[in-house]
Amino acid sequence: MALNFNETVRFLIQLEMITVNEDQIIPQPIFRSFLDSLKDVMQPREIISQFVVRQLFRKNTSIYKYIDQFLSNFNFWAGHYEFIPNTLHRYEYSGLRNFLIDLEFLYLDHSEAKYIIADEYSLLYSELKMFHQWNLMNS
């Protein structure tokens, strides 16, 4: 069995990308459509990363609150969104941080030990942050 297979399946179920029926993994319509669109793409890594990031940030997923807590630590400074974590934050969010780094959503600035949201995702993050603040004001 592949390393972390069960965790990956649970994660994809939480993102509502697949369902499991007996021993079959069934792609949900949005995921099936996405997979079909990759057939003609020469280098799908960037497209896959963007798709997964957008699925992560959907408000109705079971892990949205955890992701939202992590992302709420970022602030705009010197032209980008950054977060300087303490030891507790580094431990608490290590799995999510590593996943977002793998997706190239954020990167670690080793010189200052801070996380920075990649430029190509700054607008998406800004929209999420405004949406989050609007929800807090209206709840």
DSSP string, 68-117: HHHHTT-EEETTEEEE---HHHHHHTHHHHHHHHHTTSEEEETTTTEEEE
Question: Do residue 6 and residue 48 come from a single domain?
Answer: no
Question: Do residue 23 and residue 78 come from a single domain?
Answer: no
Q: How confident is the model at residue 131 (pLDDT cuts 50, 70, 90)?
A: low
Lowest-pLDDT range of 19-23, 40-44, 85-89, 119-123? 40-44
Q: What is the pLDDT of residue 3?
A: 65
Question: Do residue 132 and residue 76 come from a single domain?
Answer: yes
Question: Do residue 68 and residue 31 come from a single domain?
Answer: no
- Domain extent for 128: 44-137
Q: What is the pLDDT of residue 138?
A: 47
Q: What is the pLDDT of residue 91?
A: 92
Structure tokens at 113: 């030990």
Question: Do residue 48 and residue 107 come from a single domain?
Answer: yes
Structure tokens at 121: 């995702």
Share of the chain above pLDDT 70, in %: 91
Question: Do residue 48 and residue 61 come from a single domain?
Answer: yes
Question: Do residue 32 and residue 88 come from a single domain?
Answer: no
**Residue found by looking up tokens 């030891």 in the block:** 87
pTM beyond 0.85, yes or no: no
Question: Do residue 65 and residue 36 come from a single domain?
Answer: no
d(CA 115, CA 106): 7
Q: What is the pLDDT of residue 2?
A: 58
pLDDT digits (tens, 9 = 90+) for 42-65: 777 888 888 888 888 876 777 888
Could you give phi then psi for residue 94, rounded to 5 degrees?
Answer: -60, -45
Residue of 102, 109, 2 whose CA lies nearest to 56: 102
Question: Do residue 34 and residue 51 come from a single domain?
Answer: no
Bridge partners of 105? none
pLDDT digits (tens, 9 = 90+) for 30-44: 888 888 888 877 777
Q: How far is CA 124 from CA 39, 118, 134, in A?
A: 26, 10, 15
Domain count, the chain: 2
Could you give phi then psi for residue 93, rounded to 5 degrees?
Answer: -110, 15
Question: Do residue 49 and residue 97 come from a single domain?
Answer: yes
Question: Do residue 9 and residue 76 come from a single domain?
Answer: no
Question: Do residue 74 and residue 18 come from a single domain?
Answer: no
Domain end marker among 40, 55, 71: 40
